[in-house]
Amino acid sequence: MPLWTLFGLKQGKASTAWPAEGGDDGQAGVLGMPRLHAERCPPECSDCAAVCPTRAIEALDQCIALDYGRCIHCQLCVEACPAGALESSGDWAYAVTKRDDLKYAPAPAVDETQAQAVRSGIRRVFGRSLHIRHVDAGSCNGCESELQALNNPFYNLHRLGIFFTPSPRFADLLLVTGPVTHAMKAPLLATYEQMPQPRWVMAAGTCAVSGGVAEDGYACGRGLEGVLPVDLWLPGCPPNPAAFIHALLVLLERQPQRVREGRYER
Amino acid sequence: MNPCVLRDLAAHQLRHACRVLLDAGGRMQIAYAWHPNHKLIEVRYLVSVGAGRPFELWRCPVEADQALPSLAEETPLLGWYEREMADLHGLVFQNHPEPHPLVLHEGARPQRPPLDPAYPADAPLAYVEAPIALPHIRNPDVQLLPFGPVRADVLESAQFLFFYVGESILHYHPRLFFKHRGMEKRCEAKRPEQGVILAERVSGVGSVAHALAYCQALEAAADCVMPQRAAWLRVLLAELERLYNHLHYLGHLCHTTTLKVGEAQGKLLEEKAKQLNARATGSRLLRGLVVPGGLAREPRLDGLADALETLRVEFFAYRQLLEKTDSHRDRLLTTGLLSHTLAFDQGATGPVERASGLDRDLRRDHPYAAYAELPLTVAGATEGDAQARANVRMDEIEASLALLQRVLLMLPDGPLRVPCAPPPGSEGLGWAESPRGSLYYAVHVDADGRLARVKIKSPSFSNWRVFPYTVHDSNMMDYAINEASFGLTVAGCDR
């Protein structure tokens, strides 16, 4: 055992300082959601909508409507676009508190006051800390793989005062992955019922946000909409660990939301 | 079905054929059913007759209301496949030793079997409350502990039922398939190139292996020969996947023996491997590159060889420390013993079977991608305990790192992708040795060139069947260690 103590000491600090200034988010090279340059869309083109496996893109007359809540960043639309209107990007911080903020419409109804008003109010209750109960409601294990990474020495989630808790009775936030299969619906609702109030719910990953690739069918649901009241939406297939951290900090009002009306602020 | 040797058998010939196969040292691999037309069901058995020899595919037509003999007495590993076919196709297997629902849970009341083509699209299954089939226990000292499906920590959903007295587990019953999404049905009617997106999302940490097996099935159906560079790069992706999975495994195993620094280091090495994946491919889970006919785009390979060498040095030091830590090894040695016979009969696969003395690896025995051109060391052990399973994985990490350097050194130039359009009515089989073991995809294309049936056999479906046999008559203290030593996923099994 002393060997390990010595080894640990020799290794030094492995944790990133991110999101503090100068910290590495660890996502170099990661492809995120495609960027849309709607002005480049050729008239009556629907190539991207035709290849999208999750119906995230809808072809309109002059351009397209894009729902990032359905996007699994598979990059097929980028490859299919003849005009470069869709471009690969490293944009992954897609956590929003309103589902509609993930939808890109050609002419957004900009309402600054409302955008400012959307606040979870969680900070008033919990200060800066948070305890999370995770429920896998039928994921592919991709989201779990990235959630488990949050406690590795690089991301070291505890440094931010955020913890996973075994019991829903100690939890402030229910973090749900997966499209909510029929067999997992009752255990999911039972877990939610066991949580003390006030409580928050996060739809994590595109499956939980909108159903994802396996949506519907005889056994698969279409995410949390209509199942539980969702306070935080994070699409991604899977969201990377930094995206998870950013999302949790958005909920805690410690980081600004980057996406409004389907437009990503850089 | 390309590339298998076909054999047509009638229902009454199955038992005999099975016995002959087993006597000759062969092994059943998978069984599945499909509907060639609305009237007929055909049950198919994939059979391995030996390393280096092509798979055999046995086809057995089933008339409406005809029952098939269960082969689970001859070859127990078929037990789950038969129960799955009973649930999803409504087939009846006579004298099945475990005649209980598996995939759909007790209480499912589908109007028709869900994989029947006449099942109304998108109609959710009807469920009623129904008791679970469990052993009847009379002694009041025996307690039942139901654990899950929502378990502690960030874990996949599954329910485990323990019958126990004090510390001793008398009987263990895992209830899986809470996560059943009907992925095979979701593939139906999709265009073949769309299927790969679904295949990558059957088991997230096996994205490459699933995409490979699926694409190879399509390429077999289309008689398409992949460009050499793509074949070599597929090996690169598959071994990168093995690397981060096995590193995660070691970290998690340390978690169960409460070796905290060992856990941290294992998971830190996994994180480094995932960050390498992202820099090379744009995806930490290596998604989006493998497509039918080759690769979608060129990975970024600059700096990869150096980064892998750094990882190798760090892993070497980590392994040495693990091997010197008696408190860790004490918990693994003799824990979760799986005998050679049990591993073979119940269908263990991957590092689990190789740790119980079965020398099988699809990369060597039935090579795909560029594995035939690469020197491959297949790790093995005979002890069959948790330590042996960990050792096999540690040996595989070293073998993977050597293989990766070799691929980077000898990678041929050339195109990445050729057109791959399976003709209408064609079918193909694809396979891959995923980090957890053998993975098969059987793909049938309909008259319009769309997917008619996709059968997915993931390694965890095999190993979950085996695992309980190592838990009965063990103790609670060892359970978590034993489970971690199997390295199971639930998503792949449940689909």
Say whether residue B275 is in contact with chain A using an 8 A CB cutoff: yes
**pLDDT for A118:** 46
Of residues B128 and A209, more confidence is placed in: A209
User: Do residue B157 and residue B282 come from a single domain?
Assistant: no
**pLDDT for B37:** 84
Query: CA B112: distance to chain centroid?
Result: 28
User: Do residue B165 and residue B91 come from a single domain?
Assistant: no
* pLDDT reading at A114 higher than 80: no
From A221, which residue of chain B is nearest by alpha-carbon distance? Answer: B181
CATH class name, domain A28-91: alpha beta
User: Do residue B128 and residue B148 come from a single domain?
Assistant: no
**pLDDT for B302:** 94
Question: What's the distance, Cα to Cα, between the start and end of chain B in Å?
Answer: 23
The tens digit of pLDDT for each residue in A16-28 reads: 999 988 889 999 9
Residue B172 to residues B96, B146, B467, B476, Cα–Cα distance (Å):
20, 10, 10, 11
Q: What is the third-level CATH fold of A122-258?
A: Rossmann fold (3.40.50)
Mapped onto helix, strand or coil, the DSSP state of residue B7 is strand
The tens digit of pLDDT for each residue in A131-165 reads: 999 999 999 999 999 999 999 999 999 999 999 99
- In the structure encoding, which two tokens stand for residue A148, read together? 């488990």
pLDDT band at A106 (very low <50, low <70, confident <90, very high): confident
User: Do residue B253 and residue B368 come from a single domain?
Assistant: yes
**pLDDT for A111:** 55
Count structural domains, chain B. Answer: 3
pLDDT band at A120 (very low <50, low <70, confident <90, very high): low
Q: A59: exposed, middle or buried (C-beta count within 10 Å: 0-12, 13-18, 19+)?
A: middle
pLDDT band at A115 (very low <50, low <70, confident <90, very high): very low
* Whole-number Å distance between alpha carbons of B292 and B308: 28
Q: What are phi and psi of B159, to 5 degrees?
A: -110, 135
Question: Best residue in B115, B125, B151, B154 to probe A by mutation, most A CBs within 10 Å?
Answer: B154
Write the residue in A4, A143, A166 that is nearest to B261 by C-beta.
A4
User: Do residue B167 and residue B52 come from a single domain?
Assistant: no
Say whether residue A138 is in contact with chain B using an 8 A CB cutoff: yes
* Domain boundaries along the sequence of chain A: 28-91, 122-258
**pLDDT for A61:** 76
Respond yes or no on whether the N-terminal peptide bond of residue B149 is cis (omega within 30° of 0): yes
Q: Do A238 and B248 touch (CB under 8 A)?
A: no
**pLDDT for A110:** 56
Full residue range of the structural domain in which residue B246 is found:
183-494
- Interfacial B residues in 145-204 facing A (CB < 8 Å): 149-150, 152-157, 177-183, 185-186, 194, 197-198, 201-204
Q: Do B180 and A219 touch (CB under 8 A)?
A: yes
The β-bridge partners of B294 are B291, B417
Whether the ipTM is more than 0.90: the answer is yes
Host H or E run for residue B186: helix B183-187
Give yes or no for a contact between B283 and B277, defined as CB atoms under 8 angstroms apart. yes
Beta pairing, strands A200-204 & A173-177: parallel
- Interfacial B residues in 198-217 facing A (CB < 8 Å): 198, 201-205, 207
B197 chain-A contacts, CB cut-off 8 A = 53, 72, 74, 76, 213
Query: How much of chain A, in percent, has pLDDT values that exceed 90?
Result: 65
B237 min Cα distance to partner chain A (Å): 16
A30 chain-B contacts, CB cut-off 8 A = 278, 282-284
CATH assignment of the domain containing B335: 1.10.645.10
**pLDDT for B369:** 94
* Whole-number Å distance between alpha carbons of B392 and B377: 11
Instruction: Please name the residues in contact with B142: beta carbons below 8 A apart, sequence gap of 6 or more.
Output: B163, B164, B165, B170
Among the listed ranges A202-216, B102-116, B288-302, B361-375, which one has the minimum average pLDDT value?
B102-116
* pLDDT reading at A194 higher than 90: yes
Q: Do B114 and A8 touch (CB under 8 A)?
A: no
DSSP codes of every residue in A113-171: HHHHH----HHHHHTT-EEEEEEESS--SHHHHHHHHTTSTTT-GGGGTEEE-S-GGG-
- In the structure encoding, which two tokens stand for residue A72, read together? 């699994």
Write the residue in A140, A184, A187 that is nearest to B204 by C-beta.
A140
Instruction: Please name the residues in contact with A220: beta carbons below 8 A apart, sequence gap of 6 or more.
Output: A138, A179, A181, A182, A211, A214, B181, B182, B186
- In the structure encoding, which two tokens stand for residue A91, read together? 């944009």
User: Do residue B169 and residue B112 come from a single domain?
Assistant: no
The tens digit of pLDDT for each residue in A53-92 reads: 999 998 887 778 899 999 999 999 999 999 998 999 999 9
Tell me what the mean pLDDT of segment B299-318 comes to: 96
In a domain, residue B361? The reply is yes
Q: Alpha-carbon torsion A138, A143, A147, A152, what sign?
A: positive
pLDDT band at B133 (very low <50, low <70, confident <90, very high): confident
The β-bridge partners of B127 are B108
From B124, which residue of chain A is nearest by alpha-carbon distance? Answer: A218
User: Do residue B128 and residue B151 come from a single domain?
Assistant: no
Say whether residue B319 is in contact with chain A using an 8 A CB cutoff: no
Give yes or no for a contact between A201 and A224, defined as CB atoms under 8 angstroms apart. yes
User: Do residue B156 and residue B225 come from a single domain?
Assistant: no
Give yes or no for a contact between A189 and A162, defined as CB atoms under 8 angstroms apart. no
In a domain, residue B409? The reply is yes
Tell me what the mean pLDDT of segment B446-473 comes to: 94
Write the residue in B153, B179, B201 that is nearest to A166 by C-beta.
B153
In a domain, residue B259? The reply is yes
* Residue found under tokens 């979950």: B464
* Residue found under tokens 């280091």: B265
User: Do residue B446 and residue B349 come from a single domain?
Assistant: yes
The tens digit of pLDDT for each residue in B56-91 reads: 999 999 987 889 999 999 999 999 999 999 999 999
Say whether residue B456 is in contact with chain A using an 8 A CB cutoff: no
Query: How much of chain B, in percent, has pLDDT values that exceed 70?
Result: 100
Instruction: Please name the residues in contact with B345: beta carbons below 8 A apart, sequence gap of 6 or more.
Output: B75, B76, B77
- In the structure encoding, which two tokens stand for residue A85, read together? 């209107």
User: Do residue B194 and residue B76 come from a single domain?
Assistant: no
B150 chain-A contacts, CB cut-off 8 A = 135, 168, 187-188, 190-191
Say whether residue A240 is in contact with chain B using an 8 A CB cutoff: yes
Say whether residue B365 is in contact with chain A using an 8 A CB cutoff: no
In a domain, residue B407? The reply is yes
Say whether residue A14 is in contact with chain B using an 8 A CB cutoff: yes
pLDDT band at A117 (very low <50, low <70, confident <90, very high): very low
Question: Best residue in B157, B289, B316 to probe A by mutation, most A CBs within 10 Å?
Answer: B157
pLDDT band at A2 (very low <50, low <70, confident <90, very high): confident
Mean pLDDT (chain A) is: 89
Residue B194: which of A76, A47, A58, A178 has the closest Cα?
Answer: A76
* Residue found under tokens 């008259």: B447
DSSP codes of every residue in B240-255: HHHHHHHHHHHHHHHH
* Whole-number Å distance between alpha carbons of B427 and B398: 37
In a domain, residue B338? The reply is yes
User: Do residue B118 and residue B210 come from a single domain?
Assistant: no
User: Do residue B73 and residue B116 come from a single domain?
Assistant: yes
Mapped onto helix, strand or coil, the DSSP state of residue B291 is strand
* pLDDT reading at A126 higher than 80: no
In a domain, residue B138? The reply is no
Question: Residue B36, Cβ neighbours under 10 Å: how many?
Answer: 14
CATH assignment of the domain containing B86: 3.30.460.80
In a domain, residue B322? The reply is yes
Tell me what the mean pLDDT of segment B407-436 comes to: 95
